[in-house]
Amino acid sequence: MLLIPTPFTASLPSSPNLVTMLLEECSSRRLSVSLALEIAETEFAWEKYLKSFAASGDPAAGRMLETVRVIWRQIKERIATCPVPITQPTAEGAIQLAWDSGGLYLDVDVLPQGGVHWYFRDRVTNEVLGTDEEPLETLPSTFFDKLIKLTQSY
């Protein structure tokens, strides 16, 4: 996981200690500074978007956001440079995270009543996986395997 704290992105121009932290992080993970900055900038914008869900004060939104953050931590532990997902509300009131490389598609819906649905499709082979009826408490390892495959295909 790229451990760039949010305050870093918010105070980039005038925080030499945080710049040092970033450089150390880049070095340990063999990332270029420009790539690390790009990731940090997008993650910052994403975090800002996520917070807009919580602005309503709806307790379900808060719970969904917490689950989104848990999922994101799980993803970053496996794929340090995973791009932040397309994020949008769904018709059933969930928060959807989605990745689409063209040939491969993967999403997870974090449900307001708790639990998650997920869906994967390989548009070339038409392999389809995911939940059909009952949501899951946690994402299965297959989800992360497919996300690794997808991120490699960008």
Partner 1 sequence: MPQASELGPDEVVFRLFREHFIPDGQKYPNGEAFIPSSIDQDDAKKRGIPVRVTVWDQALTTPSQAKFIWGFNQPVMVFKIRVRDVIQLRARIQRLSMAVVRDPLIATDKAGAEGHCGFEGLDRNKDEPRTKYKTLLDEVAQLCHESARL
128 belongs to the binding site for partner 1 (CB under 8 A) = yes
Rounded CA Rg of the chain: 17
119 belongs to the binding site for partner 1 (CB under 8 A) = yes
42 belongs to the binding site for partner 1 (CB under 8 A) = yes
Report the run of H or E that residue 41 belongs to, with start and end: helix 33-54
Distance CA 147, CA 154 (A): 11
99 belongs to the binding site for partner 1 (CB under 8 A) = yes
Give the interface segment with partner 1, choosing from 12-20, 55-63, 71-79, 130-138 (CB under 8 A).
130-138
Question: Which residues have CB under 8 Å from 132's CB, separation 6+?
Answer: none
Distance CA 61, CA 59 (A): 5
User: Could you say which residues in the range 61-90 bind partner 1, by CB under 8 A?
Assistant: 83-90
Residues near partner 1 (CB under 8 A) are 42, 45-46, 49, 83-91, 96, 98-102, 105, 107, 117, 119, 121, 123, 126, 128-133, 154
